[in-house]
């Protein structure tokens, strides 16, 4: 048994941070699901979904704040304090950008949902679901390094896929769209969705970093 394993064995089981991580990732997945549902209904029916997205983003902000408070109150943490901060902040950033995409659709009154927007919301939903899986594996770092690494690889592949979808979508807009307002609208929405996938990769990087430190 290495020194890290001995230390982890002696430290009391965490009852504060893991529930916060799990609550944040659960709300993140729900936000991604709600956004995906919003783009698959007519424009007139989207308002309820947008309000729900706003509420979920607010909940994740509250969880982020609670995590920072717990960090200031607790000397013993399940892993490095900076990693706890980085992980909850990275999850919060994903929520911010998905909320940003929804806000732009709402503000710009986007009516037609393109295939690229649908594809990016699908990618982000899958990435958020994977984040939830990896978060649950953090509870047993000694036995779950490979599982976390495999999930992180999948998230990174999804981010690369999102980049390809985004680049092609922007090229198509500039080639086929003649209305300058529509070009701005769609590029803003697509940019927010693509940034959300980048932030999912940031979550993956933090998870991998935590896993490697405890291997």
Answer yes or no: are the C-beta atoms of 177 and 186 closer than 8 Å. Answer: yes
* pLDDT per position as a tens digit, 34-78: 999 999 999 999 999 999 999 999 999 999 999 999 998 887 888
In the predicted model, is pLDDT for residue 153 greater than 80? yes
Predicted model pTM: 0.91
* pLDDT per position as a tens digit, 72-84: 888 788 888 999 9
Answer yes or no: are the C-beta atoms of 209 and 161 closer than 8 Å. Answer: no
Report which DSSP code applies to 139: G
CA distances from 128 to 5, 42, 62, 180 (A): 29, 25, 19, 33
Nearest to 196 by CA among 170, 158, 168, 152: 158
Mean pLDDT for the stretch of residues 150-173: 97
* pLDDT per position as a tens digit, 136-150: 998 876 667 889 999
Tokens 């982000």 sit at which residue? 124
Structure tokens at 162: 């999102």
């Amino acid at each position: 048994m290495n020194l890290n394993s001995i230390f982890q064995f002696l430290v009391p089981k965490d009852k504060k941070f893991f529930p916060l991580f799990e609550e944040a990732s659960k709300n993140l997945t729900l936000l991604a699901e709600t956004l995906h549902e919003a783009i698959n209904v007519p424009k007139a029916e989207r308002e309820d979904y947008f309000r729900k997205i706003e509420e979920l983003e607010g909940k994740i902000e509250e969880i982020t704040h609670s995590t920072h408070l717990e960090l200031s109150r607790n000397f013993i943490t399940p892993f490095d304090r900076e990693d706890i901060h980085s992980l909850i902040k990275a999850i919060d950033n994903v929520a911010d950008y998905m909320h940003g995409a929804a806000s732009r659709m709402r503000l710009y009154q986007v009516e037609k949902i393109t295939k690229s927007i649908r594809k990016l919301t699908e990618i982000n939903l899958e990435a958020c679901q994977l984040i939830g899986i990896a978060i649950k594996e953090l509870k047993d770092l000694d036995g779950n390094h490979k599982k976390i690494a495999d999930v992180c690889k999948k998230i990174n592949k999804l981010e690369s896929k999102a980049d390809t979808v985004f680049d092609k979508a922007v090229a198509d807009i500039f080639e086929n769209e003649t209305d300058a307002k529509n070009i701005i609208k769609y590029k803003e929405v697509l940019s927010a969705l693509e940034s959300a996938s980048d932030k999912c990769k940031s979550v993956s990087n933090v998870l991998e970093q935590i896993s490697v430190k405890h291997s």
